[in-house]
């Protein structure tokens, strides 16, 4: 399997181009292409199918739910089902966490929505993923954008945390809450992928993957593929592949900060953020779950400290200074 | 940026290194096929790149410019230079300029330097190289096939005349004391002198109501933590008439790099965090009035503690370099893969990338990348736990 990236025009600098699809990765290869293939989420799928029977009436949609439960997949399926062969040209996919500010979103939406659809489609579709990464101010601006383009475009907004979406936007959308996928469904899905890929997988191995990925199907499938690269999917091989993710590094940051090694903790955190590009809000998200996992005796003190600095970042302070101060304060807790 | 704005437009506008400049002019004037290429060696900011561009213009050449990162592998060099060397005349009258040749490096990647030397041996067009130093092994082998021309730091008297000239054009003033300081600090580097002068001129406001003299960041931070009393510290703080963001950052990097116990460290960072929150609020609401409270938060940082000294950088060099080089590549790669996988680059890097690398390592997945990215993938695979 190949993933090919070239950077042909070397004088332009770092702008790699992909020649072949990322289909070497199983998460992508086994992404459902139609609503009926989506695992679980039956109620949501049922009502969405009804909603798009007559697409002209389709409202804006807002999907919420944790990672890897099928939100983006469902949005893509809807776009494909409504737009048919024109899906490429008439869908704009944005990820708020990678766009630099609302200005960028506005520019792209403006450009995309400029002309009415030429082909036989009811409207163009704008999928805005991780919309809860946008500040309240940006969301207010987004509301304006949604209004200005309503004639030709429908938005599908996606968020992990619906409470971070401002009311005026929620009220403009039909909202769907995705639940995490039950154990049996995850296991069946993993087994069927293993079968298609002709890898041996025993029950315990698959179970270990589920335990490790906790209902996040993207994580589960990635882990399955990584495990399979060692041979059969056994509990032992799962254990050898699990723990590779950068969330483990966040666990580590917490551990060394609590041990009072602040400088080390800080350099590691900055490496995650500035070398790898983990977003500050993701860092805080994983830090929070690291705290819960740690079952630390001063758990609530720790969470309070994190909340304090999370808030300061939210009101517009400089994340690097705030996160450094956060780690320094964690360094005092055990002493 | 003044240093760009005042880049000389003619070789005769340049200052210093008269003999070296004359030698370059002569080399260009007499150049014919086979003439040895020249290598300009000297410290930063004294006009190597400038003179290369100016002479090219003056002698009517079309400059093909390369820098170290272009000259990393043989295939790359040939790819860029073969049309030039192969006399494809669509290119006009080409010449080649390789800037920062001493920057050619990379593990075992000698192909680049060798290919370059091959070309230097039989020059069919004028070739000019520039470097800061010529002491490495690679430079020694390059030097065998070129004529080396040295550039020296510019003497203070020339710097002074030149700087005064720029200040006049900018209608800007610098006190005699600052002028000397700027010239002295630049160590003969014109670019850094101009930059420093510009920051001095725009950095603070001469007609301030404060009676004490303004100080620069470095002196200010050091004086602050050396101050014998709170009042002294306060006057230092108020005399640091710089952008508030810069002020917070300067205290931040100085505190971060100082060797303090955890409690003091955390207390100071908490104060900086509050100052930073206030600044963020001011920026968001545009209530500049609130700025007057910033110093009153920062003054809480005061303690007579010589362990805290000014530091410009708040990260170790290895990490800074990793951010600069590896970080750029990882981000370019993950942004692209994230789009393919319909998720944010942060989520890709956290959850997917490590598994992807693991599969590559175990040879069940192959990533075919431009050579630019090869080394980073290899490096990251090695870093996997
Ligand atoms: N000899 C000079 N006369 C006048 N200005 C100069 C001279 N040298 C440098 N400068 C100023 O400094 C700036 C940078 O110069 P230049 O790019 O030529 O430096 P360089 O010697 O190539 O440095 P590096 O080794 O860092 O590449 C110019 O834009 C100009 O403003
Ligand atoms: N409900 C689901 N049914 C089938 N596959 C799913 C489902 N949810 C997630 N997946 C798998 O996980 C990957 C990521 O899912 P995605 O829809 O992008 O998650 P998210 O909810 O984070 O947007 C998909 O490519 C697919 O392989
Ligand atoms: Mg998604
Ligand atoms: Mg230069």
Q: How far is CA A97 from CA A101, A281, A297, B8, B347, in A?
A: 9, 9, 34, 44, 10
- Is residue A88 in some structural domain? yes
Interface of B with A in 307-346 (CB under 8 A): 315-316, 319, 322-323, 326-346
Q: What is the whole-number distance in angstroms between the Cα of residue B384 and the centre of ligand 1?
A: 43
Q: What's the pLDDT tens digit per position in B370-382?
A: 777 888 888 999 9
Residue in A closest to B79 by C-alpha: A10
DSSP state of B220: H
For residue B347, give how far its alpha carbon lies from the nearest alpha carbon of chain A (Å): 7
- Is residue A192 in some structural domain? yes
Number of compact structural domains in chain A = 3
Give, using CA atoms, the residue closest to atom 11 of ligand 1. B191
- Is residue A153 in some structural domain? yes
Do B163 and B229 share a domain, yes or no?
no
Do B124 and B217 share a domain, yes or no?
no
pLDDT band at A138; cut points 50, 70, 90 = confident
Our answer on whether the CB atom of B188 is closer than 6 Å to any ligand 1 atom is no
Q: What's the pLDDT tens digit per position in B211-270?
A: 334 568 899 999 999 999 998 898 889 888 888 999 999 999 999 999 899 999 999 999
Residue in A closest to B71 by C-alpha: A10
Do B224 and B298 share a domain, yes or no?
yes
Q: Domain with A67 in it: what CATH number? A: 3.40.50.300
Do A106 and A125 share a domain, yes or no?
yes
The region that residue B212 occupies, defined by phi over 0 for left and psi between -120 and 50 for alpha, beta otherwise, is beta
Q: What's the pLDDT tens digit per position in B123-182?
A: 888 999 998 888 878 888 889 999 999 999 999 899 999 999 999 988 888 887 788 888
- Is residue A298 in some structural domain? yes
Q: Give the whole-angstrom CA distance, residue B240 versus residue A168.
A: 45
Cβ atoms A218, A27 nearer than 8 A: yes
Using the 3D structure, point to which of A192, A219, A241 is the last residue of a domain.
A241
**Better-predicted residue by pLDDT, B305 or B195:** B305
Beta strands (DSSP E) in B249-315 are: none
Cβ atoms A10, A4 nearer than 8 A: no
**Residue A317 pLDDT exceeds 60:** yes
Average pLDDT (A229-234) is: 94
Q: Domain with A328 in it: what CATH number? A: 1.20.272.10
Do A71 and A128 share a domain, yes or no?
yes
Do B163 and B257 share a domain, yes or no?
no
Tell me the average pLDDT of chain B.
85
Using the 3D structure, point to which of B286, B314, B342 is the last residue of a domain.
B314
Do A164 and A62 share a domain, yes or no?
yes
Least confident piece of the model among A52-61, B85-94, B199-208: B199-208
Interface confidence (ipTM) of the complex: 0.89
Do A74 and A150 share a domain, yes or no?
yes
Residue B82 contacts A where some CB pair is shorter than 8 Å: no
User: Is there a contact between B366 and A11 if contact means CB atoms under 8 Å apart?
Assistant: no
Contacts A–B by Cβ distance under 8 A:
233
Q: Which structure tokens are listed for B184?
A: 């002295």
- Is residue B82 in some structural domain? yes
Do A236 and A251 share a domain, yes or no?
no
Q: Give the whole-angstrom CA distance, residue B204 versus residue A319.
A: 27
Q: Give the whole-angstrom CA distance, residue A287 versus residue A285.
A: 5
**Residue B104 pLDDT exceeds 80:** no
Q: What is the whole-number distance in angstroms between the Cα of residue A71 and the centre of ligand 3?
A: 6
Closest CA to A62 of A132, A163, A157, A171: A157
Our CA angle for A142, B348, A277, nearest 5°, is 75
Residue A21, pLDDT score: 40
Q: What's the pLDDT tens digit per position in A235-260?
A: 999 999 998 999 999 999 999 999 99
Q: Can you give the residue range of the structural domain that contains B295?
A: 207-314
Q: What is the whole-number distance in angstroms between the Cα of residue A324 and the centre of ligand 2?
A: 34
Using the 3D structure, point to which of B314, B347, B375 is the last residue of a domain.
B314
Q: Give the whole-angstrom CA distance, residue B48 versus residue B128.
A: 10
> How long, in residues, is chain A?
335
H-helix or E-strand spanning residue B363: none
Q: Which structure tokens are listed for B276?
A: 């930073």
Q: Give the whole-angstrom CA distance, residue A305 versus residue A298.
A: 11
Residue B273 contacts A where some CB pair is shorter than 8 Å: yes
Do A66 and A171 share a domain, yes or no?
yes
Q: Can you give the residue range of the structural domain that contains A124?
A: 53-177
> How long, in residues, is chain B?
385
Question: Which atom of ligand 2 has the smallest separation from the CA of B347?
Answer: 22
Our CA angle for B306, B307, B309, nearest 5°, is 80
**Better-predicted residue by pLDDT, B366 or A277:** A277
Do A72 and A137 share a domain, yes or no?
yes
Provide the 3-class DSSP secondary structure of residue A176. strand
Q: How many CB atoms lie within 10 A of CB B108?
A: 5
User: Which residues are in the CB-under-5-Å shell of ion ligand 3?
Assistant: A 72
- Is residue B104 in some structural domain? yes
Q: Domain with A192 in it: what CATH number? A: 1.10.8.60
Do A109 and A188 share a domain, yes or no?
no
Q: Which structure tokens are listed for B37?
A: 């290429």
Number of compact structural domains in chain B = 4
Provide the 3-class DSSP secondary structure of residue A316. coil
Do B133 and B249 share a domain, yes or no?
no
Q: What's the pLDDT tens digit per position in B268-300?
A: 999 999 999 999 988 887 777 788 889 999 999
- Is residue B9 in some structural domain? no
Beta bridge partner(s), residue A94: A128
Note every long-range contact of A188-195, with CB atoms under 8 Å and residues 24 or more positions apart, other chains counting: A188/A39, A189/A39, A189/A217, A190/A220, A190/A221, A190/A224, A193/A26, A193/A30, A193/A221, A193/A224, A194/A224, A194/A228, A194/A233
Our answer on whether the CB atom of B198 is closer than 6 Å to any ligand 1 atom is no
Residue A3 contacts B where some CB pair is shorter than 8 Å: yes
**Residue B96 pLDDT exceeds 80:** yes
**Residue A16 pLDDT exceeds 60:** no
**Better-predicted residue by pLDDT, B33 or A219:** A219
Provide the 3-class DSSP secondary structure of residue B42. coil
Q: Give the whole-angstrom CA distance, residue B95 versus residue B91.
A: 10
Residue B358 contacts A where some CB pair is shorter than 8 Å: yes
Residue B238 contacts A where some CB pair is shorter than 8 Å: no
Our CA angle for A12, A18, A22, nearest 5°, is 150
Using the 3D structure, point to which of A136, A159, A177 is the last residue of a domain.
A177
**Better-predicted residue by pLDDT, B112 or B70:** B112
Interface of A with B in 165-204 (CB under 8 A): none
- Is residue A34 in some structural domain? no
- Is residue A302 in some structural domain? yes
Residue B322, pLDDT score: 92
Do A84 and A163 share a domain, yes or no?
yes
Our CA angle for A212, A213, A218, nearest 5°, is 150
Do A321 and A256 share a domain, yes or no?
yes
Residues of chain B contacting A316 with CB distance shorter than 8 Å: 277, 280-281, 283-284
Do B44 and B97 share a domain, yes or no?
yes
Q: Which structure tokens are listed for A265?
A: 């903790």
Do A57 and A173 share a domain, yes or no?
yes
Using the 3D structure, point to which of A226, A241, A256 is the last residue of a domain.
A241
Beta bridge partner(s), residue B63: B95
**Residue B385 pLDDT exceeds 80:** no
- Is residue B2 in some structural domain? no
pTM of the model: 0.66
- Is residue A171 in some structural domain? yes
Do B308 and B364 share a domain, yes or no?
no
Interface of A with B in 293-332 (CB under 8 A): 309, 312, 315-318, 321-322, 324-325, 328-329, 331-332
- Is residue A107 in some structural domain? yes
Q: Give the whole-angstrom CA distance, residue B129 versus residue A106.
A: 46
Ligand 1: which of B2, B6, B7, B132 to mutate, most ligand atoms within 8 Å of CB? B7
**Residue A310 pLDDT exceeds 60:** yes
**Residue A188 pLDDT exceeds 90:** yes
**Residue A14 pLDDT exceeds 50:** no
Do B163 and B189 share a domain, yes or no?
yes
Least confident piece of the model among A226-235, A292-301, B62-71: B62-71
Using the 3D structure, point to which of B150, B171, B186 is the last residue of a domain.
B150
Note every long-range contact of B360-365, with CB atoms under 8 Å and residues 24 or more positions apart, other chains counting: B361/A229, B362/A229, B362/A230, B363/A229, B364/A1, B364/A225, B364/A228, B364/A229, B365/A1, B365/A3, B365/A24, B365/A25, B365/A225, B365/A229
Q: Domain with B103 in it: what CATH number? A: 3.40.50.300
Q: Give the whole-angstrom CA distance, residue A26 versus residue B380.
A: 21
**Better-predicted residue by pLDDT, A142 or A270:** A270
């Amino acid at each position: 399997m190949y993933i090919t990236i070239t950077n042909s025009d070397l004088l332009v600098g770092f702008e790699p181009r992909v020649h072949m699809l990322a289909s070497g990765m199983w998460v992508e290869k086994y992404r459902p292409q139609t609503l009926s293939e989506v695992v679980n989420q039956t109620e949501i799928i049922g009502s969405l199918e009804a909603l798009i029977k007559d697409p002209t009436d389709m409202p804006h949609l807002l999907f919420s739910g944790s990672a890897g439960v099928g939100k983006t997949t469902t949005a893509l399926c809807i776009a494909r089902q409504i737009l048919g062969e024109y899906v490429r040209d008439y869908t704009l996919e944005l990820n708020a966490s990678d766009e630099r500010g609302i200005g960028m979103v506005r520019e792209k939406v403006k450009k995309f929505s400029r002309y009415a659809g030429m082909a036989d489609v009811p409207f163009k579709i704008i999928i805005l993923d991780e919309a809860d990464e946008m500040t309240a101010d940006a969301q207010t601006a987004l509301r304006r954008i949604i209004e200005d383009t309503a004639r030709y475009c429908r938005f599908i907004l996606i968020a992990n945390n619906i409470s971070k979406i401002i009311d005026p936007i929620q009220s403009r959308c039909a909202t769907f809450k995705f639940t995490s996928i039950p154990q049996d469904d995850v296991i069946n899905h993993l087994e069927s992928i293993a079968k298609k890929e002709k890898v041996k997988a025993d029950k315990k191995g698959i179970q270990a993957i589920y335990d490790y990925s906790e209902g996040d199907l993207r994580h589960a499938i990635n882990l399955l593929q990584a495990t399979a690269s060692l041979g059969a999917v056994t509990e032992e091989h799962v254990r050898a592949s699990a723990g590779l993710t950068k969330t483990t590094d966040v666990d580590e940051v917490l551990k060394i900060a609590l041990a009072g090694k602040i400088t080390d903790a800080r350099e590691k955190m900055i490496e995650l953020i500035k070398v790898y590009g983990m977003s500050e809000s993701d860092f805080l998200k994983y830090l929070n779950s690291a705290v819960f996992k740690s079952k630390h005796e001063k758990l609530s003190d720790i969470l309070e400290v994190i909340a304090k600095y999370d808030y300061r970042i939210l009101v517009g302070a400089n994340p690097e200074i705030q996160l450094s101060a956060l780690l320094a304060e964690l360094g005092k807790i055990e002493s | 940026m003044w240093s760009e704005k005042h880049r000389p437009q003619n070789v005769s506008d340049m200052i210093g290194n008269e003999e070296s400049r004359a030698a370059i002019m002569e080399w260009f004037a007499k150049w014919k096929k086979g003439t040895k290429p020249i290598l300009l060696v000297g410290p930063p900011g004294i006009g190597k790149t400038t003179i290369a561009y100016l002479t090219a213009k003056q002698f009517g050449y079309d400059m093909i410019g390369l820098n170290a990162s272009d000259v990393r592998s043989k295939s790359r060099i040939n790819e860029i230079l073969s049309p030039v060397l192969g006399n494809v005349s669509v290119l006009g009258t080409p010449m080649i300029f390789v800037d920062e040749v001493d920057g050619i490096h990379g593990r075992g990647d000698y192909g680049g330097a060798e290919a370059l030397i091959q070309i230097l041996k039989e020059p069919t067009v004028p070739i000019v190289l520039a470097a800061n130093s010529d002491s490495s092994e690679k430079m020694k082998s390059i030097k065998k096939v070129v004529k080396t021309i040295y550039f020296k730091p510019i003497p203070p008297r020339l710097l002074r005349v030149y700087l005064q000239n720029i200040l006049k054009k900018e209608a800007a003033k610098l006190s005699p004391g600052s002028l000397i300081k700027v010239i002295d600090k630049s160590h003969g580097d014109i670019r850094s002198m101009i930059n420093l002068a510009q920051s001095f001129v725009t950095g603070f406001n001469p007609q301030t109501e404060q009676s004490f003299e303004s100080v620069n960041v470095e002196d200010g931070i050091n004086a602050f933590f050396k101050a014998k009393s709170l009042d002294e510290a306060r006057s230092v703080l108020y005399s640091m008439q710089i952008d508030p963001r810069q002020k917070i950052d300067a205290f931040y990097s100085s505190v971060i790099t100082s060797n303090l116990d955890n409690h003091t460290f955390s207390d100071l960072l908490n104060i900086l965090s509050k100052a930073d929150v206030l600044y963020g609020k001011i920026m968001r609401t545009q209530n500049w009035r609130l700025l007057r409270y910033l110093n009153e938060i920062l003054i809480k940082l005061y303690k007579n503690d010589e362990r805290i000294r000014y530091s410009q950088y708040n990260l170790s060099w290895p990490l800074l370099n990793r951010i600069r080089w590896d970080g750029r590549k990882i981000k370019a790669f993950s942004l692209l893969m994230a789009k393919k996988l319909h998720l944010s680059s942060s989520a890709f890097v956290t959850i997917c990338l490590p598994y992807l690398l693991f599969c590559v390592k175990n040879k069940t997945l192959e990533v075919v990348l431009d050579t630019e990215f090869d080394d980073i993938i290899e490096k990251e695979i090695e870093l996997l736990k």
